[in-house]
């Protein structure tokens, strides 16, 4: 009888968000979903243009159109699912054999559940953290920080530190505020680098 060894590793699902570069609301939604999901740091936000911008001509072959460049991003990042957001949700482009899911299908409806429909969410991670790290008194304190970013440059700061939809942020404060010492320092573009080591 043959004997073998099988090693299985779990990895987060990888979502690719398709957005128009000028659609700030869609970009913010992509950041918020990625912040909520385990492994969200690795979810690419892919710019989708109807026509290739002129400044891209020097970066790519003249024969490549806007769609070809998006396909190149998809091949490079190899996501499990595509999530078109904002204006891109109305596009009818053929994205090869990749499955499309809607924004509304990912984040949980907090009235009924706390887990996302795809992947592992922040509530599950915080439950695990509590069971493993905060249940007992630690010799060295472990800080949980949710920076409050300034309105100016907020999109950049949110892409750096993450951001959550208001409903989920409020739920975290209500459910975990008494359990975790959640810090909410104000962060601006002038001193955000001070928090890079946290």
**65 and 21 within one domain:** yes
**146 and 91 within one domain:** no
Is residue 179 situated within a structural domain?
yes
Q: In 3D, which of 66, 171, 26 has the Cα closest to residue 108?
A: 171
Is residue 151 situated within a structural domain?
yes
Residue range 124-183, pLDDT digits in tens: 988 888 888 777 776 777 777 888 888 888 999 999 889 999 888 888 888 887 777 788
The CA R_g of the chain, rounded to the nearest whole Å, is 20
- State how far Cα 70 lies from the chain centre: 19
Q: How far is CA 176 from each of CA 13, 19, 66, 119, 134, rounded to the nearest angstrom?
A: 25, 33, 45, 21, 11
Is residue 130 situated within a structural domain?
no
**185 and 142 within one domain:** yes
Single pTM value for the model: 0.84
- Residue 64: burial class (beta carbons within 10 Å; 0-12, 13-18, 19+): middle
- Structurally, the chain folds into a number of domains equal to 2
Q: Which residues contact 20 (CB under 8 A, 6 or more apart)?
A: 26, 47, 48, 49, 86, 87, 88
Domain final residue, candidates 74, 89, 120 = 120
Asked if residue 83 has pLDDT above 90, the reply is: yes
The CATH number of residue 74's host domain is 3.40.50
**99 and 17 within one domain:** yes
Range of the structural domain that residue 153 is part of: 137-198
């Amino acid at each position: 009888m043959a004997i073998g060894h099988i090693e299985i590793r779990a990895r987060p699902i990888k979502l690719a968000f398709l957005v128009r570069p000028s659609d700030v609301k869609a970009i913010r939604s992509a950041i918020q979903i990625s912040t909520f999901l385990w492994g969200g740091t690795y979810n690419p936000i892919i710019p989708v243009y109807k026509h290739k911008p002129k400044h891209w001509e020097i970066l790519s072959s003249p024969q490549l159109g806007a769609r070809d460049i998006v396909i190149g991003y998809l091949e490079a990042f190899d996501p499990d699912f595509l999530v078109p957001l904002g204006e891109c949700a109305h596009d009818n482009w053929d994205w090869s054999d990749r499955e499309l899911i809607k924004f509304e299908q990912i984040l949980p409806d907090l009235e009924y559940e706390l887990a996302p429909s795809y992947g592992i969410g922040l509530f599950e991670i915080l439950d695990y953290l509590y069971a493993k790290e905060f249940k007992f008194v630690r010799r060295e304190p472990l800080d949980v920080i949710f920076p409050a970013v300034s309105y100016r440059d907020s999109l950049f700061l949110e892409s750096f530190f993450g951001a959550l939809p208001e409903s989920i942020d409020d739920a975290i404060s209500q459910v975990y505020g008494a359990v975790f010492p959640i810090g909410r320092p104000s962060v601006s573009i002038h001193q955000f680098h001070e928090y890079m080591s946290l």
